[in-house]
Amino acid sequence: MIDTPQIIQTTALHAAIIHLTIPRSEMRTAMGPGIGEVMAAVKAQGIGPAGSWFTHHLKMDPATFDFEICVPVTTPVKPVGRVKAGEWPAMTVVRTVLCGGYEGLGVAWGEFGTWLQANGHKTGSDLYECYTAGPESGPDPANWRTELSKRLIA
């Protein structure tokens, strides 16, 4: 179940990113090492993390995920390995929060999409997931929080 969506204005953030295009079936095995690699780079450079990590899904396909693993940083990251400089741009988004484990993300996005359509909102094709509380905050998935955001198009 998702919280009631809200329209908000984001501010631009510098981010360290790894871009991945992988089969959907590899998401669980690719995410952990990817976030570990980005976190190691920003910590080694002393520039983050400067907030909750997030993913930017560029293209959603039933079989393939084309996305970026992102960590907010205080200044642009110096490229190292797969880690490159990127950003979360300033934009107007519709945002909701999923309370619960990551296995609920598919249903949450479906519920969010239904709400967006029912309320007449036009959004970009990309999407953002910000992991504000997850396994690192405790073992009970009921306490996990993931912000789901879609860019509004005028």
How much is the pLDDT for 147?
98
Cα–Cα distance list, 113 to 10, 122, 145, 148 (Å)? 20, 10, 18, 11
* Residue pLDDT, tens place only, 122-141: 999 999 999 999 988 899 99
* CA distance linking residue 38 with residue 48, whole number of Å: 10
How much is the pLDDT for 154?
77
Domain 6-151 belongs to what topology?
Multidrug-efflux Transporter 1 Regulator Bmrr; Chain A (3.20.80)
* CA distance linking residue 126 with residue 13, whole number of Å: 17
* CA distance linking residue 102 with residue 15, whole number of Å: 22
Query: What is the pLDDT of the chain when averaged over all its residues?
Result: 95
The amino acid occupying position 99 is: C
User: Is the overall model pTM greater than 0.75, yes or no?
Assistant: yes
Q: Domain ranges for the chain, please list them.
A: 6-151
Cis, peptide link before residue 49, omega less than 30° from 0: yes
* Residue pLDDT, tens place only, 37-73: 999 999 999 999 999 999 999 987 889 999 999 999 9
At 107, the pLDDT band (50, 70, 90 cuts) reads very high
